[in-house]
């Protein structure tokens, strides 16, 4: 059995606005209908005062094909795409 994976990644020098990322992810909807949102989470705990603060930030959008063999990750500072080839049985002699 073998698995082949093709990966493409492109990184920007700056970050794009969240609204632009959402629009870009929506443009993939026809070919990649399984869409979600990635978020980053920062947890700060003040051990002296006993207080905790949680901050969530948008991280990007994963968009997947129906069979989940193709995925495009739209990040704030870039994009990555991967294609997982089908599993194949090797011929036995």
| Model confidence pLDDT, tens digit, residues 42-88 | 999 988 888 899 998 888 888 888 888 888 888 888 888 888 766 54
Q: Is the model more confident about 87 or about 22?
A: 22
Q: What residues contact 24, with CB distance under 8 A and at least 6 apart?
A: 61, 74, 79
Say if 90 falls within a structural domain.
no
- Encoded tokens for 76: 């704030």
Say if 20 falls within a structural domain.
yes
Q: What residues contact 30, with CB distance under 8 A and at least 6 apart?
A: none
Q: Range of 34's domain?
A: 5-84
Say if 40 falls within a structural domain.
yes
pLDDT (0 to 100) of residue 91: 39
Say if 93 falls within a structural domain.
no
* Count of domains for the chain: 1
Say if 91 falls within a structural domain.
no
């Amino acid at each position: 059995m073998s698995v082949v994976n093709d990966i493409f990644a492109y990184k920007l020098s700056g970050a794009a606005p969240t609204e632009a990322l959402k629009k870009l992810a929506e443009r993939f909807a026809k070919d990649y209908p399984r869409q979600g949102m990635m978020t980053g989470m920062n947890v700060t705990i003040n051990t002296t005062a006993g207080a905790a603060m949680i901050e969530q930030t948008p991280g990007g959008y994963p968009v997947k094909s129906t069979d989940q063999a193709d995925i495009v990750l739209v990040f704030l500072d870039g994009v990555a795409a991967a294609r997982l080839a089908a599993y194949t049985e090797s011929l036995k002699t």
